[in-house]
């Protein structure tokens, strides 16, 4: 079987090589970098919740950006492979939607930014996978309402499937601005994109 047909990529691309050089475990970090450069999602002293964080590139990027008083809470079904000794990093291995994990995250206080690169398990059927991604993203938007501080921001990965506008509509109930951006680092053949909500207003102040 050729490398191509076994699903492995034969030559690492520019982003993969750069990630290796800069010490990140995954090239997906450059999607977050572009989103942050464009929308100022977070910066110095911010408190960030990273959902679907493994192997840990996004959390690592956040730790490099938030200064010594910032904080990153990360959650994933799998372990992170980055250095876990940083006191500004709190990690839960588990499902974001499980009540005990949500309360452990809520115990940490409100966040300035919620980022999610979480992807559902895929079937290869684009309609089914987009549906799963929609459900995951809608759940994250819903729960983020309990976790974000006033003025906070959010960025979530979704699979394009036609329902992106509905998610943008959900965001506009609570955020001043909502956008969709497909970062350059997304692979050409990938149908992922990111929805972004900026300047959150909590329910009780609406």
Considering only 9, 97, 100, 176, the residue that binds ligand SAM (CB under 6 A) is 97
Instruction: By CB under 6 A, tell whether 183 contacts ligand SAM.
Output: no
Q: Is residue 21 a contact partner of residue 15, using CB atoms and an 8 Å limit?
A: no
C-alpha 130/C-alpha 159 separation (Å) is 5
| Catalytic residue (one of 8, 20, 157, 176) | 157
Name the residue nearer to ligand SAM (CB basis): 122 or 177: 122
Write down the residue that tokens 């501080």 correspond to: 149
Instruction: By CB under 6 A, tell whether 96 contacts ligand SAM.
Output: yes
Report CA torsion sign: 15, 38, 186, 54: positive
Instruction: By CB under 6 A, tell whether 127 contacts ligand SAM.
Output: no
Check residue 26 and give left, alpha or beta (phi > 0: left; psi -120 to 50: alpha).
Answer: beta
Tell me which stretch binds ligand SAM (CB under 6 A): 2-10, 49-57, 123-131, 176-184: 49-57
Closest C-alpha to 140, from 167, 178, 176, 112: 167
Considering only 22, 45, 86, 95, the residue that binds ligand SAM (CB under 6 A) is 95
Q: Is 38 tagged catalytic?
A: no
Tell me which stretch binds ligand SAM (CB under 6 A): 52-60, 147-155, 162-170, 171-179: 52-60
Query: How far are the Cα atoms of 5, 28, 84, 117 from residue 60, in angstroms, in the given order?
Result: 32, 12, 10, 14
Which residues are catalytically annotated?
157
Residues of this chain that bind ligand SAM (CB under 6 A): 25-26, 28-29, 52-58, 75-78, 95-97, 117-119
């Amino acid at each position: 079987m050729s490398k191509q047909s076994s699903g492995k990529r034969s030559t690492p691309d520019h982003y993969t090589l750069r990630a290796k050089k800069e010490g990140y475990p995954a090239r997906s970090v450059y999607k977050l970098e572009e989103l942050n450069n464009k929308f100022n999602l977070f910066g110095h002293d911010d408190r960030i919740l990273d959902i679907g964080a493994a192997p840990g590139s996004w959390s690592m990027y956040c730790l490099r950006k938030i200064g010594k008083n910032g904080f990153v809470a990360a959650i994933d079904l799998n372990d992170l492979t980055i250095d876990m000794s940083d006191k500004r990093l709190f990690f839960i291995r588990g499902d974001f939607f499980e009540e005990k994990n949500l309360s452990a995250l809520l115990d940490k206080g409100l966040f300035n930014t919620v980022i999610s690169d979480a992807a559902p398990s895929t079937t290869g059927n684009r309609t089914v996978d987009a549906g799963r991604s929609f459900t995951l993203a809608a759940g994250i938007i819903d729960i983020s309402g309990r976790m974000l501080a006033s003025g906070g921001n959010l960025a979530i990965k979704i699979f394009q499937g036609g329902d992106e506008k509905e998610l943008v509509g959900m965001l506009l109930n609570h955020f001043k601005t909502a956008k969709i951006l497909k970062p350059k680092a997304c692979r050409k053949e990938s149908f992922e994109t990111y929805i972004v909500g900026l300047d959150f207003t909590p329910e009780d102040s609406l």
